[in-house]
Chain A
């Protein structure tokens, strides 16, 4: 049930970012996100291409969301199952989100690469943390590519790892996000 609520609800927050003016809205529904857990005994990676998000270059706001169950990869099907059921509890917390404001504004008229810091609430496993995440932003005609690497401390989000597998799962997970965001034209509104 909760799952549906989240699915229904989240697009609303996206809309609130998007709605006022379409001119500065860039959005994606197929951004790439992958994470790496580099523990002493095991290296785990997983990825997803279902990152949805929008940024408003006029209001300097953004919102991103990813379905936790969309991650593929892992070293075994059992690991995948544990990831969803034990650690992320993805039926209770189906989405991970990051939304907030951009510290530096993106000048869409200036093509090329810049670095922008995004400050907002990073919500994983139902626990929110305020984070400032640095991202490389490449502006091209009608689209913006973002590329960010950051780490997530499991303890920050109340994700507890049983002691028995603590040597196999890192306390700090490296996350890489890459998304090409396309400008919404006025007609799409």
Chain B
């Protein structure tokens, strides 16, 4: 079904077209309509579901844990919401609950009381009687010398002298006074020792609710005083379960049998709210114009407009309630868990899109395409008042006599007599300006009609009968004849919102046009409590006529919006602006906006224009699609933007704890911040911007609740954080945290000095060492050359050759084959000497092969007169080295200096030791005539070893033997 939208196209041409189409679709509309009575029955059915219509819409929050009920709800001065449960204390940031570690985890931890004192200490009372104090993130047990109670703690309260009072269930009261814990119980005049609740009144006296009335306790010059208020004083019931102080000067009292009452502190009188039927009260929340009442067994009630209304109707227990600073009311329910609702908003179901709304003296009138409805605010009932209109009602006005004027599209105005139900039409032909009546307003006996053909004024007599018509059109000074709204202000001036031609104003018969708006289409008009006129325009948002003294002709307050459906002034500070899908709370002086949307139950408002009105109590009623939305200006709300809090500072993901943030070590340079922007209405909408001054150049936008700076160099940094709901951070408060990372020690002067000294010393030592090594190498080189020279000299020694050749001659004669071998060995010997002469060391195996050749040659010369016995361990042969030709030199020496004869054969014994020595040993039979010797051979070996190894060559001379121990070098020892 197509429906007529009041929002007409802005230009007159298309309005004309819409009007031409009008009769056609109105008739088709009627054809398809269901019989009225069916819809009406259906409607009644829907309404019967809830007897009290104006219900809040609750958001459900997660519970602190599985099967964990929040027995207590509390908001601290930082804005965090706390829950006290059987399993301990939890804090909530809107998304997650976090458990708070208790001071002693072994005892029972059922939290029964939470209270924040003025010095921001959170006092936590447990069922066991134990008490913890949470201060600056650290929890500690409260352990007075006097001991703690052994019965459940039921509350804390601070008195005028900042003494903390503690109530218990079984031991009366205690108070913490000059670091001593004193008791105040039945012996001191307290009515009873079972104290359910304590509260402080305007003088900070402590009110204790017990089974036998209220005890008002205070200290007077250190003396404890108790005054009793009970049934004798007019208290309805002595069992007092709940006491709440309301700043308006009352103590609200919830009782076991007596329902809800209040005691006015100034008059000292009790009043009881009548009509209570729901048994024991468990929780009370007095608000500006209503009182929320939680019960032990009968769910949640609200007392408003002089009556109790059920909000929900389960047989369940309300554990606790809380009003937070954003204007949300929180409820912890046994069966439904933790819920909250934006207290300003409540909802009443309507059947269809509401087309117009008007607050009469005691009823709210509204229309849908099905006719006219009346919502009775006292009974909460909706009633259908009239249905047989051939056209949609788009404007309603209740005049002084209580009768209604109903403006329609295309069918003029109907006058409805409420008592008799009589209807009377006024159409163009009866003197009405036009049959499309968009808006009606009036004052006293004058009713004004805004139409698409100018403005009409009806004058009534005291009985409400029409005594005359006036009509104003362009000819009379109106800027245009298409009028969307008429508004009569407090001074009696009449304002007209026109299509494309701004605002015209009638005053004492004269019509003028407001400058500055003359090209705008204006849809709505409203007046604030100070008498300023506000307008909503199609393209330029909302604006107002300035107060005297301001220069501009108009102040445009919010120009960034184009789809305003309706608006109303809430107070001098705030406007309510509705859009097809949401509502904005707009604060012109600060430019702040609080968006009310799905999260608080606002949706589907529709595009109808000006479906808004204010009742006598200042509450705003908005007609939406399928519901009426009521907005009550909140006195609860003191916070309009997320509360930005840094919740944790960590170094390498460990909490910074007690450390001084201005004195962090150079390697404590991984710093992270956890933070939150508390906005419980829509926690997931919160956006963050942060920067680290000294590191970041600009703000960094984020949706996370953590910022990490992994490797900061030394210096002073300030972490700055701000949060916002709509991404506009310009008005957000910046929260900051400053810290300092010290310079690393290598950047300090003393380390610099030390480093230079050490550097110079090291260089000196190195140079010295290098020099030494250079010299050693030089010497080694020299020794090597000398040894080569010596060896060569001895080999090419003519004696050696001469002897060798003599031997060869004798062999040739005997055995030619051996002779060939002999020559081969001789040549091998010389080749090897040449091959190894540049090497500092060779492996023992190579040395032995070399020696083998030499031995072969000598063997043939001396025969059995020269015997060599070789015992070298196999592993040493490859695993160790010796300077080349060492063995040959030693054996040569032996041959040179000793007698080699048949009677005195020379025995040379070469064997290895486990200690890493090779011993060359020969029997000593010194020749009488000394062979010419330079002693070079042995000396050379000793010198070379000194350069190659720490181990010395050991020369041992006994009476019978000559021994030379040469150290075997490990293979890796090479030079």
The residues of A with any CB-CB pair to B shorter than 8 Å are 101, 103-104, 117, 119, 132
Contacts and interface: CB of A to CB of B under 8 A. Distances in A.
Contacts of A101: 211
Interface in B235-273: 238-239, 256-257
Contacts of A132: 239, 256
A130 B194 CA distance: 12
Contacts of B239: 103, 117, 132
Contacts of B194: 119
B210 to A, nearest CB: 10
Nearest to A119: B211
Nearest to A102: B211
Interface of B: 194, 211-212, 238-239, 256-257
A101 B238 CA distance: 14
A117 B280 CA distance: 13
A72 B257 CA distance: 35
A106 B337 CA distance: 41
A101 B211 CA distance: 10
Contacts of B238: 103-104
Contacts of A104: 238
Contacts of B211: 101, 103, 119
A132 B238 CA distance: 13
| Interface SS of A by simple majority | strand
10 contacts: A101-B211, A103-B211, A103-B212, A103-B239, A104-B238, A117-B239, A117-B256, A117-B257, A119-B194, A132-B256
Which of A103, A104, A119, A132 has the most B CB atoms < 10 Å from its CB? Answer: A103
Contacts of B212: 103
A117 B194 CA distance: 15
A19 B92 CA distance: 53
A5 B238 CA distance: 38
A104 B256 CA distance: 13
A153 to B, nearest CB: 11
Nearest to A115: B257
Nearest to B210: A103
A124 to B, nearest CB: 19
A119 B237 CA distance: 14
B843 to A, nearest CB: 91
A120 to B, nearest CB: 11
Nearest to B231: A104
A113 B368 CA distance: 59
A103 B191 CA distance: 11
A104 B238 CA distance: 9
A101 B170 CA distance: 12
B208 to A, nearest CB: 16
Contacts of B256: 117, 132
A134 to B, nearest CB: 8
A160 B966 CA distance: 98
A101 B169 CA distance: 14
Give 5 nearest A-B pairs by CB, closest first: A103-B211, A119-B211, A103-B239, A103-B238, A132-B256
Contacts of B257: 117
A148 B412 CA distance: 69
Among B211, B212, B238, B257, max chain A CB count under 10 A is at B211
Contacts of A117: 239, 256-257
Nearest to B280: A132
B320 to A, nearest CB: 18
Nearest to A60: B212
A120 B194 CA distance: 11
Nearest to A104: B238
Nearest to B257: A117
Given A101-B211, A103-B212, A103-B238, 10 more contacts: A103-B211, A103-B239, A104-B238, A117-B239, A117-B256, A117-B257, A119-B194, A119-B211, A132-B239, A132-B256
A101 B257 CA distance: 17
A45 to B, nearest CB: 25
A103 B213 CA distance: 10
A103 B194 CA distance: 11
B387 to A, nearest CB: 45
Nearest to B239: A103
A128 B211 CA distance: 19
B885 to A, nearest CB: 104
A28 B238 CA distance: 28
A53 to B, nearest CB: 20
B949 to A, nearest CB: 90
A171 to B, nearest CB: 12
A26 B239 CA distance: 25
A26 to B, nearest CB: 21
A119 B210 CA distance: 12
A117 B238 CA distance: 11
A176 B455 CA distance: 76
Nearest to A117: B239
Nearest to B238: A103
Contacts of A119: 194, 211
B414 to A, nearest CB: 56
B793 to A, nearest CB: 114
B150 to A, nearest CB: 16
A110 B558 CA distance: 75
A117 B212 CA distance: 11
A62 to B, nearest CB: 14
